[in-house]
Amino acid sequence: MKRELFVASRTLDQGTYCPFTITYFILVEALAGDLEQYGVKIVENNSQKFAAVSGITTSAERISMLADLLVKGAVTPTGLLDVLADWL
């Protein structure tokens, strides 16, 4: 079973007078037994553009740390893969 857990939303104004909202999710997928694997999803609400990566880690603590980093850094869907490459 797969599910999405809401983490946070941020509204950004890049000085263009066109603010946009980004929403962050943790993706959870059940594995055999009681194990779960986690990923992340970022959605730019205005355009509905998104980026998602599943199966990043089986550690709930590590995925929470990554989600916090993404929110604090205001990472957009376009930047997700670059941030993940550096983080991993």
Per-residue burial over 9-36, b if 16 or more Cβ lie within 10 Å, else e, is ebeeeeeeeeebebbbbbbbeeeeeeeb
Mean pLDDT for 60-81 is 94
| pLDDT tens, position by position, 9-55 | 998 876 666 778 999 999 999 988 888 999 999 999 888 899 999 99
**pTM for this predicted structure:** 0.89
